[in-house]
Amino acid sequence: MAHHKSALKRIRRNERRRLINGARRSRVRTFVKAVEKAIASGDKAAAEAAFKAAQPVLMRGAQIGVVHRNMARRKLSRMASRINAL
């Protein structure tokens, strides 16, 4: 256990950030799953709507650092190509 005041503060801060980042990561995954579900159903209009909703959430997660920016770009690219193939 930490004894320094600054180390104790860092532990508290890290725990707050962990919870916030977990919620953000979960939100990103939820939006991606909605797009995947729409693509699987074969409904192009629903897939495009879900993709438009997921795109800013995914890029915001990448900008904040919750997910890697290359992973966000790769996912968006693959989802867009799958939607165009419908």
**Cβ–Cβ contacts within 10 Å for residue 35, how many?**
26
Task: Give tens-digit pLDDT for 5-21.
Answer: 999 999 999 999 999 99
Question: Which domains are delineated in the chain?
Answer: 5-85 (1.20.58.110)
Whole-angstrom Cα distance, residue 81 to residue 18? 33
pLDDT of residue 15: 97
pLDDT of residue 2: 85
Task: Give tens-digit pLDDT for 43-65.
Answer: 999 999 999 999 999 999 999 99
Radius of gyration of the chain (CA): 17
* The pair of three-digit structure tokens given for residue 52, joined into one six-digit string: 């438009």
Task: Give tens-digit pLDDT for 18-46.
Answer: 999 999 999 999 999 999 999 999 999 99
* The pair of three-digit structure tokens given for residue 3, joined into one six-digit string: 């004894």
pLDDT of residue 1: 79
Closest CA to 67 of 20, 14, 21, 18: 21
